[in-house]
């Protein structure tokens, strides 16, 4: 869903977009990596040749729906302090290897947060799972809000909002989008307004 929304936002904004996915088989039946490339259309120039897979250290924006996924991106060398913005929900969903370990096999959330600060050019993270549970929607809506609010993509906010404004889940999707958008604009810090 998130990939389709990003493709639609790019196309509405007059950009080329190419997407591919790499299915995983390791944890929780495997995490699929979705890879997208965007490039602005320039007059009558032909479509560019884009890559079908991510290159280590050459990712502009990396998005993770759970903090251990962000840790895997860092450990695989996709995140670069010179180039990469890392956007992640910092909640935990324990993987099979963590649950089946004899003893505490859990991944250290705080270590991943520290690695994100060290290895990413910018690191926006907050608990998007809590937002979507409260709003009654899926994490893709919160991730889209965080991406839009980060300012990392050159697409207008209304392009993203328009994509969410129809269908049975429109109100919930927009609520999660808006909350994540505001949180990302503040760098992932919860915005608390004085009474």
pLDDT in tens, 157-168: 999 999 998 888
Burial of 170: CB neighbours in 10 Å, binned 0-12, 13-18, 19+: middle
pLDDT of the residue at 22? 75
Domains along the chain with CATH numbers: 2-185 (3.40.920.10)
Buried b (16+ CB within 10 A) or exposed e, 142-161: bbbbbbbbbebbebeeebbb
Q: Tokens at residue 166, please?
A: 């129809």
What are the per-10-residue average pLDDT scores of the chain (195 residues)?
Answer: 94 93 63 86 89 89 92 92 95 72 76 93 95 95 97 94 90 96 82 43
pLDDT at 190: 54
CA dihedral 180→67→34→28, nearest 10 degrees, is -120
3-class secondary-structure state, position 141? helix
Please state the pTM of the whole predicted model.
Answer: 0.88
pLDDT of residue 33: 79
**Is residue 61 within 8 Å of 85, Cβ to Cβ?**
yes
Query: What whole-number distance in Å separates Cα of residue 163 and Cα of residue 20?
Result: 21
């Amino acid at each position: 869903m998130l990939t389709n929304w990003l493709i639609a936002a790019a196309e509405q904004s007059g950009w080329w977009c190419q997407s591919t996915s790499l299915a995983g088989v390791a944890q929780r039946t495997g995490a699929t990596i979705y890879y997208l490339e965007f490039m602005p259309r320039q007059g009558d120039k032909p479509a560019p040749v884009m890559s079908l897979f991510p290159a280590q250290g050459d990712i502009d924006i990396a998005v993770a729906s759970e903090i251990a996924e962000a840790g895997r991106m860092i450990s695989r060398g996709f995140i670069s302090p010179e180039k990469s913005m890392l956007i992640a929900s910092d909640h935990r969903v324990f993987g099979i290897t963590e649950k089946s370990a004899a003893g505490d096999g859990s991944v250290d959330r705080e270590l991943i947060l520290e690695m994100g600060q060290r290895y990413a050019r910018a690191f926006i993270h907050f608990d998007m799972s809590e937002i979507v549970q409260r709003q009654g929607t899926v994490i893709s809506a919160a991730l889209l809000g965080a991406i839009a609010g980060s300012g990392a993509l050159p697409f207008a906010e209304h392009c993203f909002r328009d994509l969410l404004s129809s269908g049975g889940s429109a109100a919930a999707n927009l609520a999660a989008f808006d909350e994540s958008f505001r949180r990302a604009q503040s760098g992932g810090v919860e915005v608390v307004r004085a009474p």
